[in-house]
Amino acid sequence: MLSECDTSDLKNIAVYEGQQNTIMNLYVNPQNVSWKVKSTSNELDTYTIISPGGNNEYPELYNVTQTGLVIKNATTTDGNGNPISTAGLYYAQCTNNPNRTGAKLLVVRKFFYLFYSTILFKTSQMMCNMVVTALGGI
């Protein structure tokens, strides 16, 4: 049974929007740790995700296991019925340790990459058409 609180495994993570089951690693008994988040959709408030004793306030967004906090779906907004985005600063505090530790979940929107790729493709296609026209329709 895990009883110590080793916070050295908790690291910043970057994922694409929609990434499923991202784990904030913290190897400890889930009953002995509380998790909070300062979500990027509302940076003025801090939300308790898991309270000491393992009570999950947001079961639609999170799960907790002995390997850490599982973020079910990486989101950048509080849309689609979610109360908050899952991107943000996460805090963990073990019941046997007065110190808390934190890590950032950065969620990158796929839209910008796809949008940029589409523009590049269309621009390349347009340039090829211009060259063909300039050369007299090869």
* Confidence band of 131 (pLDDT split at 50, 70, 90): low
Q: Summarize the confidence of residues 49-58 as an average pLDDT.
A: 89
CATH label of the domain that carries residue 26: 2.60.40.10
Quick one: pLDDT at residue 1? Answer: 43
Q: Please indicate, yes or no, if residue 114 is contained in any of the structural domains.
A: no
Q: For residue 11, give its domain range.
A: 7-108
Q: Please indicate, yes or no, if residue 61 is contained in any of the structural domains.
A: yes
Q: Summarize the confidence of residues 92-112 as an average pLDDT.
A: 85
Residue 70, Cβ neighbours under 10 Å: how many? 15
Query: What is the count of structural domains for the chain?
Result: 1
Q: Please indicate, yes or no, if residue 64 is contained in any of the structural domains.
A: yes
pTM of the shown model: 0.74
Contact 5, 32 (CB under 8 A): yes
pLDDT at 35 over 90: yes
